[in-house]
């Protein structure tokens, strides 16, 4: 999938949480319908078969409950996207990334291997830490191979790990520094790797020898550069990928570099960075909704020199399916999964507690039938209409986003202290109650905004006429 990811270490986030967030985007010309659900252990397959590749995998008999954002139409598989399990371990999969002919010639992709369709389902229910997630998925990649290049994030309250696949069977993973954040477009990202540092780096057992055998190390020094060895530097990257990383870094570190001099086509953008201030969930939402605001590349630019408007692929595009942003904590606070559907510049990001048996109907009852009775389709409708009435509706969207965000934090501030004291069934009941309260709030505000945006778009219809009948 064409996606965008941001990872935030616990000391770089506003509240000490590890944050992993990703836009799950459709292919061009498609709009994949999504829902937000909880998978009960009894519904988890024991004998898994991929729809796309046909690979069959025997899964352990002790899965945990976990949240997921699967496709509504599963003709091409589950595509669970992101989730949190009972052990409060989070996973998002995947960020489709790039490689080069030298790597793919040395370790060809495996047509009947595993891919994005499968990864959350065959990994998340069985892991008890972020590092254990890397270990499990690494073994699966080595055994079954993969038919595509992917980046995958794992988080628990203690740390975040990022794994990148290399060719058909190889992989490497890096621990995200606690004081830093990572931005990832659809491009191989890790820019340094120390084979001797087992604390912060992991990889397939023979990766170092694989690099030597196939002359993949392009460095003149002893410092190995995995981005040069395994990644791509194509012309298309400078239109589709590097501009997104450039904008996110520019927003979160505005004073660190001369960003105009560095430029959106730069191949020297760092994989991880210490932010200039702590990163909030509102920051995460903003960068994952970005369309190059404040630059000549904004597709909505309507004054001045518009020659470069829409030149680069925006982060917030029409084919965003779901944004999943997950917070995990080290101090016992309840994990939260923030969800937004459809095109991010026009939607709202809403938090839900994850230690529950089901999600509210408003976010989980999505079907392929267009309806104003669920969050996905309401978000799609608002986005399409607000885009068509951008000048008239932008203030309505800003008010909608600010109001929902404020109300969501208010509800979280009400329940977080209660949940710290609760255990077992009482805790689950409180989280379920909080989720329903949040769902009721966002349903009300979304319906209100839908009506207002519809009114504004109706006013500028081509067949409008100023004179009334009387």
Q: Which residues are annotated as catalytic?
A: 3
Is the Cβ–Cβ distance between 389 and 464 less than 8 Å?
A: no
Closest CA to 140 of 114, 179, 164: 114
Closest CA to 279 of 5, 15, 4: 15
Is the Cβ–Cβ distance between 42 and 108 less than 8 Å?
A: no
Give whole-number Cα distances, 4 to 45, 94, 242, 399, in Å.
29, 9, 11, 25
Is the Cβ–Cβ distance between 148 and 116 less than 8 Å?
A: yes
Six-digit token string for 351:
């938090």
Q: Is 304 exposed, middle or buried (0-12, 13-18, 19+ CB in 10 A)?
A: exposed
Three-state SS annotation for 107-160: CCCCCCCECCCCHHHHHHHHCCCHHHHHHHHHHHHHHHCECCCEEEEEECCCCE
Is the Cβ–Cβ distance between 148 and 108 less than 8 Å?
A: no
DSSP secondary structure of 339-365 = EEES-GGG---EEEESSSS---HHHH-
The sign of the dihedral angle between the CA atoms of 135, 139, 142, 148 is negative
Q: Is 97 exposed, middle or buried (0-12, 13-18, 19+ CB in 10 A)?
A: buried
How far is C-alpha 45 from the geometric centre of its chain's CA atoms?
25
Contacts of 169 (CB under 8 A, 6+ apart): 107, 110, 141, 142, 145, 146, 204
Closest CA to 405 of 284, 321, 318, 294: 284
């Amino acid at each position: 999938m064409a996606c965008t990811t941001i990872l935030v270490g616990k000391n770089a986030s506003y509240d000490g949480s590890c944050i992993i967030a990703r836009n799950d985007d459709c292919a061009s010309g498609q709009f994949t319908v999504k829902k937000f659900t909880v998978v009960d252990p009894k519904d988890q397959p024991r004998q898994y078969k991929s729809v796309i590749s046909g690979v069959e995998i025997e899964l352990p008999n002790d899965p945990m409950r976990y949240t997921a954002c699967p496709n509504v139409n599963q003709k091409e598989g589950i595509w669970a996207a992101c989730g949190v399990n009972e052990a409060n371990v989070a996973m998002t999969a995947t960020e489709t990334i790039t490689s080069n002919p030298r790597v793919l010639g040395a370790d060809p992709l495996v047509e009947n291997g595993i891919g994005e369709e499968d990864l959350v389902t065959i990994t998340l229910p069985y892991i008890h830490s972020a590092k254990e997630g890397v270990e499990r998925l690494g073994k699966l990649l080595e055994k079954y191979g993969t038919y595509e290049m992917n980046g995958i994030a794992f988080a628990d309250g203690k740390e975040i790990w990022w794994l990148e696949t290399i060719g058909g069977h190889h992989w490497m993973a890096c621990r995200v520094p606690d004081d830093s954040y990572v931005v990832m477009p659809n491009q191989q990202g890790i820019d340094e790797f120390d084979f001797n540092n087992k604390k912060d780096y992991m990889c397939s057992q023979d990766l170092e020898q694989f690099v030597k055998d196939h002359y993949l190390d392009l460095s003149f020094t002893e410092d190995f550069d995995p981005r040069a060895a395994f990644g791509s530097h194509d012309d298309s990257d400078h239109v589709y990928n590097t501009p997104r990383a450039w904008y996110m870094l520019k927003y979160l570190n505005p004073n660190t570099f001369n960003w105009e001099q560095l430029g959106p086509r730069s191949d020297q953008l760092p994989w991880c960075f210490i932010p200039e201030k702590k990163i909030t969930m509102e920051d995460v939402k903003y960068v994952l909704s970005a369309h190059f605001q404040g630059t000549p590349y904004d597709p909505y630019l309507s004054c001045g020199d518009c020659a470069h408007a829409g030149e680069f692929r925006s982060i917030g595009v029409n084919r965003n399916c779901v944004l999943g942003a997950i917070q995990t904590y080290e101090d016992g606070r309840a994990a939260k999964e923030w969800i937004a559907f459809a095109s991010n510049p026009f939607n709202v990001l809403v938090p839900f507690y994850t230690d529950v048996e089901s999600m509210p109907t408003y976010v989980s009852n999505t079907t392929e039938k267009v309806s104003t009775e669920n969050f996905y389709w309401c978000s799609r409708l608002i986005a399409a209409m607000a885009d068509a009435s951008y000048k008239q509706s932008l203030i309505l969207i800003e008010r909608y986003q600010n109001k929902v965000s404020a109300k969501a934090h208010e509800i979280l501030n009400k329940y977080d202290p209660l949940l710290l004291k609760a255990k077992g069934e009482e805790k689950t009941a409180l989280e379920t109650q909080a989720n329903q309260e949040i769902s009721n709030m966002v349903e009300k505000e979304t319906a209100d905004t839908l009506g207002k945006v519809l009114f504004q778009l109706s006013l500028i219809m081509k067949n409008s006429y100023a004179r009334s009948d009387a």
